[in-house]
Chain A
Amino acid sequence: MTDIAHTSQKEGIKPPVVSVGVIGWIKANLFNGWFNSVLTVVTLLFLWKTVPPFFLWAFMDSVWNTTGQVCRDAGGACWSIISSNLRFILFGFYPYDLQWRPLLAMIILFVLLYFSQNRKHWKKPLAYAWIAGLFIMGLLLRGGLFGLDPVESTQWGGVPLTLLLSVFGLTAAYPLGVVLALGRQSKMRAIKTLCIVYIELIRGVPLISLLFMSSIIFPLLLPEGVTINKILRAQMAIILFTAAYIAEVVRGGLQGMSRGQYEAAESIGLNYYQTMRLVILPQALKIVIPPTVSQLISAFKDTSLVVIIALYDLLKTTQTVLSNPEWMGFSREAYVFVAILYFLGCFSMSNYSRKLEKELSRGD
Chain B
Amino acid sequence: MDKESSVTTEQKLSDEAIIEIIDMHKWFGDFHVLQGINLTVHKQERIVICGPSGSGKSTLIRCINRLEEHQRGRIIVDGIELTNNIKNIEKIRAEVGMVFQHFNLFPHLSILENLTLGPIWVRKTPKKEAEETAMYYLEKVHIAEQAKKYPGQLSGGQQQRVAIARSLCMNPKVMLFDEPTSALDPEMIKEVLDVMIELAQEGMTMIVVSHEMGFAKSVAHRVLFMDFGQIVEGNTPREFFENPQHDRTKLFLSQILH
Contacts and interface: CB of A to CB of B under 8 A. Distances in A.
Interface of A: 258, 260-261, 263-271, 274, 278-279, 282-283, 286, 360, 362-364
A269 B110 CA distance: 19
A283 B152 CA distance: 14
B108 A282 contact: yes
Contact of B94 (A265, A269, A362, A364): A269
Interface string B92-126: 01101110101011111010000001100110000
B67 interface: yes
Given A263-B67, A274-B121, A283-B108, A268 B100 contact: no
A271 to B, nearest CB: 6
B8 interface: no
A43 to B, nearest CB: 41
A364 B107 contact: yes
Contact of B110 (A268, A360, A363, A364): A363
B90 A286 contact: no
Interface residues of B, number: 31
Contacts of A266: 67, 93
B67 A270 contact: no
B216 to A, nearest CB: 23
A286 B106 CA distance: 14
Given A260-B100, A264-B100, A362-B150, A270 B121 contact: yes
B153 interface: yes
Interface in B59-108: 65, 67, 86, 90-91, 93-94, 96-98, 100, 102, 104-108
Given A261-B106, A263-B67, A282-B108, 7 more contacts: A268-B170, A269-B170, A271-B86, A279-B106, A279-B117, A286-B108, A363-B151
A364 to B, nearest CB: 5
Contacts of B91: 269
Interface of B: 65, 67, 86, 90-91, 93-94, 96-98, 100, 102, 104-108, 110, 117-118, 121-122, 149-153, 163, 166-167, 170
A275 to B, nearest CB: 10
B184 to A, nearest CB: 16
A185 B20 CA distance: 34
Contact of B93 (A261, A267, A283): A267
Contact of B152 (A265, A267, A364): A364
Nearest to B101: A260
Contacts of B94: 268-269
B223 to A, nearest CB: 24
Given A278-B121, A363-B152, A268 B167 contact: yes
Contacts of B153: 363
Contacts of A261: 104, 106
Nearest to A264: B104
Contacts of B149: 363
| Interface SS, A side | helix
B90 A267 contact: no
- List the 7 closest pairs (A to B, CB-CB), nearest first: A363-B150, A269-B94, A264-B104, A268-B118, A267-B98, A260-B104, A269-B122
A263 B167 CA distance: 13
B107 A283 contact: yes
Contacts of A282: 108
Nearest to A268: B118
Nearest to A274: B121
Contacts of B170: 268-269
A268 B121 CA distance: 10
A363 B121 CA distance: 23
A286 B109 CA distance: 13
Given A363-B152, A364-B152, A270 B106 contact: no
A98 B100 CA distance: 65
A363 B98 contact: no
A363 B90 CA distance: 30
Contacts of A264: 98, 100, 104-106, 163
Which of A263, A269, A271, A364 has the most B CB atoms < 10 Å from its CB? A269
Contacts of B90: 269, 271
B99 to A, nearest CB: 9
A362 B110 CA distance: 10
A363 to B, nearest CB: 3
B139 to A, nearest CB: 20
A265 B104 CA distance: 9
Contacts of A364: 107, 150, 152
Contact of A363 (B102, B107, B118, B166): B107
A129 B80 CA distance: 48
Given A269-B94, A363-B153, A260 B108 contact: no
Nearest to B102: A260
A364 B149 CA distance: 10
A88 to B, nearest CB: 48
Which of B117, B121, B153 has the most A CB atoms < 10 Å from its CB? B121
Nearest to A360: B108
25 contacts: A260-B102, A260-B104, A264-B106, A266-B67, A267-B65, A267-B67, A267-B96, A268-B93, A268-B118, A268-B122, A268-B166, A269-B93, A269-B94, A269-B118, A269-B170, A274-B121, A274-B122, A278-B117, A279-B106, A363-B110, A363-B150, A363-B151, A363-B153, A364-B107, A364-B152
A357 to B, nearest CB: 13
A361 to B, nearest CB: 10
Contacts of A269: 90-91, 93-94, 118, 122, 170
